[in-house]
Amino acid sequence: MKKRWTIRKHDAEAVNRLASELQVKPLIAALLIARGHDTAEKAITFLNPSIEHLHEPFLLKGMREAVDRIQKAVDNGEKIMIWGDYDVDGTTGTVLLRKMLSLLGAESTFHVPNRFTEGYGINIPALEQAKKDGVSLVISVDCGIRSFDPLEWARDNGLDVIVTDHHLSDEIRGNPPAVAVVNPNQTGCEYPDKNLAGVGVAFKLAHALLRENGMEAEFPQFLKIAAIGTVADVMNLTGENRAIVRLGLIDLPKTPSFGIKALMEVADCRSDMTSYHIGFRIGPRINAAGRMDIARHVVELFEAPDFGKARELANLLDSRNRERQQVQQKITELALAETANRDGLHFVVVAGEGWHQGVIGLAASRIAEKLYRPTIVLSIKDGFGHGSARSIPGFHLLEALDSCSDIFEQYGGHAAAAGMKIKIENIPALQEKINAYAAEKLAGEELTPELKIDALVTSRTLGIDLVESLVDFEPFGAGNPKPIFVTRDLVLRNEPYVMKEKHLKMMLTGEDDRVFEAVWWDGVEKSKGQTLKPGSRIELAYVAEANTWQGNTRLQLVVEDLRADN
């Protein structure tokens, strides 16, 4: 799909001033300013995250009450259950809190609900079983902020629950009846960083408890698991999250954890680890357990007593991820086929009998990306459609669902993603109503994806040193994307080379006759409508990366988009 390019404009005076203060190239200063680090102090903090940049854990509302209740349970030898969500955020947070309790000498068990038989959040039957098993304190991770009925049951039956979460609370009902709620996004919490992941909140709780027990020196060891969960849950890598991830990635391959070592091995991560390796290799394998099978396998993996057991569980997660990819691809293809002949479509709604509920959200993301339309994918079962929705920039998904509230059995979400349940006879009405709503909100350039470009770079100044100068901007990810540059003075030397029938490799010549290698992932499909032949003048939008092969490192331009002038 054709993209509209937006090239950022920079204040030359501000750029030159910051470059002089930091003794860096103007391009680096421009990138820093564009990310909000417009003073030397802010820029230095951003480029050099440290332990000192982590906030005081007791600034979190409810932290004192939570610590006191857990300390009481530890001192009295009570049985504690960690209740983690089934996604990567919840499972890694569960591992983290269990490890912390073990250091304190406490007995704990854990429960990660099955996505398909129990659903999301805390439920009463599992609480009943916990009570029968002698549990007196439950600590949630990444869930519970809206579990009113289960927590009312727990309160009435003498089972204490501490909620740790990062999702938004109910504006009308407030917090559920827990012993304590630790959530930076709850009403009245003045914690300075609202972007913590669920595992990040668990990390703050662990820090507070270790300090209370004179073991604060132990808390840095929890940074690695917190970093994995934060990146894999696609949280903004700014502020405190940036410090957690940057510090957690240091020497990650040298971790003593059998589980992490085994997971890195099956994911073919054997060198220095970056946020890319976590987000695109490690994270999907962890998430696959909750989407395809039983998420408790993740906890078992991280707690494996030896490498043999860890490798066995890592292989299981790897196989589940391959299965997830196949199922997701099939559903996506079926869903795209249904939209092939729909002219004037503003909102995609597709449904299929028995589609795997664990991957319909991923399929919705893929369709929304490919068609650049907000998308709902529904799995039909027993007369109902269980759906996941994903949006595009500038379109508030929850507000769109609100306009059709009378059609749903239940629904919820936020601007970018949502879930719902609907009777199958109401699906045609949903398609009509939500498309009419979207047609009023989306028009013209809003239906064309925007490519935000950080700066123009001439081929004469383009080199591997550009990549090296961006190392301190890591970790890249949500909230801190890799910079995208444009170079206009390039010429295609020969026919693009097709790799694996999907990707394109191109050799380009700059104005000083230097040759650059560019790779365009999925370029065969993305280049449709472009004529790429030797001699074509190319305006290239790309990410500059270092490609190391057999000990040699060279510049590689990873194509985001291009414009060819024949």
pLDDT band at 377 (very low <50, low <70, confident <90, very high): very high
Closest CA to 359 of 283, 281, 291, 284: 291
Question: What's the CA angle centered on 290, arms 288 and 292, to 5 degrees?
Answer: 60
The answer, yes or no, to whether residue 493 has pLDDT greater than 90, is: yes
Burial class (CB in 10 A: 0-12, 13-18, 19+), 558: middle
> pLDDT tens, 406-461?
999 988 878 888 999 999 999 999 999 999 999 999 977 888 999 999 999 999 98
Closest CA to 29 of 560, 460, 483: 483
| C-alpha pair distances (Å), 385 with each of 361, 375, 421 | 13, 14, 6
Domains of the chain: 4-8+451-565 (2.40.50.460), 57-216 (3.90.1640.30), 339-447 (3.10.310.30)
> In terms of DSSP H, where are the helices of 76-170?
88-103, 124-132, 148-156
Using an 8 Å Cβ cutoff, are 384 and 409 in contact? yes
The answer, yes or no, to whether residue 498 has pLDDT greater than 80, is: yes
> pLDDT tens, 76-130?
999 999 999 999 999 999 999 999 999 999 989 999 999 888 888 899 999 999 9
The answer, yes or no, to whether residue 1 has pLDDT greater than 80, is: no
Mean pLDDT of the chain: 94
Instruction: Report the percentage of the chain scoring pLDDT > 90.
Output: 85
Contacts of 76 (CB under 8 A, 6+ apart): none
pLDDT band at 173 (very low <50, low <70, confident <90, very high): confident
Using an 8 Å Cβ cutoff, are 563 and 546 in contact? no
Q: Take residue 289 and report the two structure tokens written for it.
A: 């357990």
pLDDT of residue 342: 63
Question: What's the CA angle centered on 200, arms 149 and 245, to 5 degrees?
Answer: 155
| Mean pLDDT, residues 402-406 taken together | 93
pLDDT of residue 119: 83
The answer, yes or no, to whether residue 566 has pLDDT greater than 70, is: no
Distance CA 164, CA 140 (A): 5
Higher pLDDT, 170 or 522: 522
Longest dimension (CA), the chain: 78
Closest CA to 197 of 136, 245, 154, 139: 245
> pLDDT tens, 13-60?
999 999 999 999 999 999 999 999 999 999 999 999 999 999 999 999
Distance CA 473, CA 488 (A): 25
pLDDT of residue 150: 97
Distance CA 560, CA 566 (A): 20
pLDDT of residue 2: 83
| Mean pLDDT, residues 3-21 taken together | 96
pLDDT of residue 548: 82
Closest CA to 267 of 326, 327, 311: 311
Name 480's bridge partners: 477
| C-alpha pair distances (Å), 184 with each of 58, 62, 222, 228, 289 | 11, 10, 20, 20, 28
The answer, yes or no, to whether residue 317 has pLDDT greater than 90, is: yes
The answer, yes or no, to whether residue 5 has pLDDT greater than 90, is: yes
Higher pLDDT, 203 or 448: 203
pLDDT of residue 298: 96
Distance CA 300, CA 309 (A): 9
Using an 8 Å Cβ cutoff, are 246 and 222 in contact? no
First to last CA, the chain: 20
> pLDDT tens, 336-370?
888 876 667 899 999 999 999 999 999 999 999 99
Burial class (CB in 10 A: 0-12, 13-18, 19+), 28: buried
